[in-house]
Each structure stands twice: as structure tokens, then as C-alpha cells.
Amino acid sequence: MILVVIFLVATVATALADALLAVYSLPHKNGGRWLSMVCGGACVTEIAYLLSVLPVSYFWSSLFSSIYFVSIDVMLWSLLGFVLINNHLYGRPVLRWVHRGFGVWAAIDTAVLLVNPFC
């Protein structure tokens, strides 16, 4: 039981730290918006995972698992955007199209995950 409490406290503390980083990174010019989206996605990912492993019901576990995987897609797409902008590579047309292609892939994956047959 003590391990469950430690897990809950650690997960909530990490999610709060990610939310704080998301707020503080937003005003920065060099990729601050993208880094804020990465940190916000990490916060949502951690909370969704925490809520998906708590044994409430099958419906809620399935719903939060879908939210978990969708937030991972958003977080990875934002991380790619942050890396491209921070390394001054976003101006290259090929890499910009790669980022857009991953965005389309993430949107399709999100649509598939939101149509969850287990909910």
C-alpha cells in the first residue's frame, strides 16, 4: 500500500513540475511555444496514465488509455517541432514537410484512438 501512495505522490509531483515548466517556457522566443506544448503533453500523459491504472472501471481505464496515447502523439510531434526550431532547421523545406507529415500522421492516429471501441 505504501508503494501505491509513493507512486501517486511521485506522479502528481512530476505532472505539476511539467505544468510549471510549460507555463515558464511559453514566453521564450526560441521554440518556447513548442517546448511548452511538450511539457503540457507530458503533464497530460502522466495524469492520464495515473488515471488509467487506477482500478475504477473498464470504461474509465479504456478512456484514459486512449487519452494517454493521444497525448504521447501530441508530445512527440511538439518535441520534433522544438528540436527543428531550436537547431535552426525549421527553415529547410524538406524538414518542414517532414514535420507536417508527422502532424498529419499524429492527427490520423488521434482520430483512430478517439474512436475507442472499448468505451
Q: What is the pLDDT of residue 84?
A: 87
48-107 confidence digits (pLDDT tens): 998 888 877 888 888 888 888 889 998 999 998 888 888 888 778 888 898 899 999 989
Q: What is the pLDDT of residue 29?
A: 80
Whole-angstrom distance between the N-terminal and C-terminal Cα of the chain? 29
Report the alpha-carbon distance of residue 61 to residue 114 in Å, rounded: 14
Average pLDDT of span 12-35: 89
Q: What is the pLDDT of residue 89?
A: 82
**In 26-92, which residue ranges form alpha helices assigned H by DSSP?**
32-53, 58-86
The predicted model scores a pTM of 0.82
Q: What is the pLDDT of residue 113?
A: 81
Report the alpha-carbon distance of residue 106 to residue 71 in Å, rounded: 10
Q: What is the pLDDT of residue 118?
A: 63
Nearest CA among 54, 50, 52, 109 for reference residue 76: 109
